[in-house]
Copies of this chain bind each other. A is one copy, B any other.
Amino acid sequence: MLFKDISIIDENLNIKNNMYVGVAEGKIEYVGEEKPQKNYGEEYDGRKKLLSPGFVNLHTHSPMTLLRGYAENLPLDRWLNDRVFPFEDQLNCDRAYYGTMLSIAEMLSSGTTSFTDMYFFGDGVMKAVIESGAKTNFGRSIVSFADEDIFKNDRFREGVYLTEKYHNTENGRIKIDMSLHAEYTNMPSIIQQFGEYTRGRGQINHIHLSETKSEHDACKEKYGKTPARLFYDAGIMDSPAIFAHCVWVEDSDIDLFVEKGATVAHCPASNLKLGSGVCNTYKLLEKGVNIGIGTDSAASNNGLDIMREMYLAAILPKGMCNRADIVTPRDVFKMATINGYKAQGRADCGVIKEGFKADLIVMNLNTPNMYPDFDIFNNIIYSADKSNVILTMVDGKVLYKNGEFMTVDVEKIGYEVSRLVRQVKSEVKGND
C-alpha cells in the first residue's frame, strides 16, 4: 500500500506535507517526498489527511467491556467487591473472547494500534487478538492471599503456560507479560517469589500501583514502606515494569522509577471516575519517568477511546497545577506513541520511519474541528477526536477504514455480547 500526497508526523514530531509512505510486508519500507519507483499496488489518496503512528493503550482489561455500565457510582473497593468480582465469577474463555472482540473494535475505531492488557481467560483473549489482528501485550494477573509456593498458584502457572504458547507469536504481534494484580491483593511471599522468578527473563512486569489513597496508606501501615518500595525491594523493577495508576506515589517512589527505568501507565479518566484522584504527571515528567497512557477498562472509564484519554492527559495537569504551560501536546503525543511502545518492549514501533512496523492511523483533517490549522499538534491533542480517525493499520494490515471493521463482525459481536451479559446477570442474581 502506498500513502500518497499525505501529511505525516516524522520521527522528530514535525509535520511534513505532501509525502509518500510505502508499506510492504508489515513494515514501513519507504518515506519520501518523491513518489517511489516501486509499484505498491493499492494507492491511498492522502490529501487533507494526516498519517500518524497509531496509539498505544498501555493499561486496560479488555474482557471487562462486558461490564460497561454495570457497576456505577461506587468507590473502587465496593465497585470491585460488590459488583465486579461476582460478575467476573461467571465469565469463561468464550465470554472473555466476545468482550475482547468488542473492545478491540472500539480501540481500532479510536486509533489504538497496540494495547497492554491485564486479565484472565488468556486463551479467550488470545483467540480474539489472533482473529482480529490487534497488537497486544497480555498479562495474566496473579491474586493470592495464600502463603504458598508460587509454582503451585494456578494464576502464575497460567502466565507461564501463556508465555510458552503465545509469547512473540504472530510475527511478534503478541507478547505475554507477567503480572501481579497489586500489592494489596497478594501476600508478601508471593511478591518476593514473583520478583525472583521474573528477574532476567526479559518479560515485562505489569502491576497496579498506589491507585487509591487507602490502599497506599494501608501498605505503609502494614510493611512500613510504600508499594513501590516493596516491589523495588522484591526485585520487580529489575525487569522492565509498567505500573498502572500511580495516583498516590511519593517523591521517593518516583526516584525508584527513574533509577530502574520503570514506566507509569497514566489512566486519568478511570482515576477521576472512581474517585481515586489525579496522578501528578507533571512531576513524573520533570523527573524523567517514562509515562504511557491507558484507558483502564470500560467498566471504569467507560470507553476505550485513547484520544479522549490523551485530551485528559493534556488538560488535567494544567488545571491541577494552575499552570497553562506544562505538559505540551508533544509530551502527550509521545506518551501515547513512542513511550507506550517502548514500555511494551516494541522498539520497532511508534515512528514513521523506514524499517519500522506499519502501525499507522490516518486522520481526516477536513472536518470543522480541524480548522484553522495553526498547529496540527495542538489540533490533534485538543480538537481531534475519534471521529477524525478514518483508517487504522496494524503490521501493515488495514483493520479499520471509514467506519468499517475488516476483521471484527460488529453486528454479530454486539448481538452476542447483549445475549451473554443478560445471561451473566441472571446467573449473578441466582448466586446472591
Contact = CB atoms under 8 A, between A and B. Distances in A.
Contacts of A417: 371-372
A379 B274 contact: no
A249 to B, nearest CB: 16
Interface in A218-250: none
Given A304-B369, A305-B369, A69 B374 contact: yes
B75 A372 contact: no
A319 B383 contact: no
A373 B272 contact: no
Contact of A375 (B69, B269, B298, B418): B69
A160 to B, nearest CB: 32
Contact of A387 (B75, B311, B329, B386): B386
Interface in A83-129: 102-103, 105-106, 109
Interface string A48-70: 00000000000000000110111
A273 to B, nearest CB: 5
A303 interface: yes
A368 interface: yes
In this complex, the interface size class of chain A, counting residues with CB under 8 Å from chain B, is 35 or more
A328 interface: yes
A355 interface: no
Contact of A324 (B274, B278, B298, B374): B274
A169 interface: no
B385 A324 contact: no
Copies, count: 2
A68 B374 contact: yes
A1 interface: no
Contact of A371 (B72, B277, B418): B418
Nearest to A376: B69
Interface of A: 65-66, 68-70, 72-76, 79, 102-103, 105-106, 109, 213, 269, 271-278, 298, 301-305, 308, 311-312, 314-316, 318-319, 321-325, 328-329, 366-369, 371-375, 378-379, 382-383, 385-387, 410-411, 413-414, 417-418, 421
Minimum-distance CB pairs A-B, first 7: A272-B319, A302-B382, A275-B324, A69-B378, A69-B374, A387-B387, A105-B368
23 contacts: A68-B378, A68-B379, A68-B383, A69-B382, A70-B374, A72-B378, A73-B325, A106-B368, A213-B322, A272-B316, A272-B319, A273-B315, A274-B324, A278-B319, A301-B382, A301-B383, A302-B378, A303-B385, A368-B410, A371-B413, A371-B417, A374-B421, A385-B386
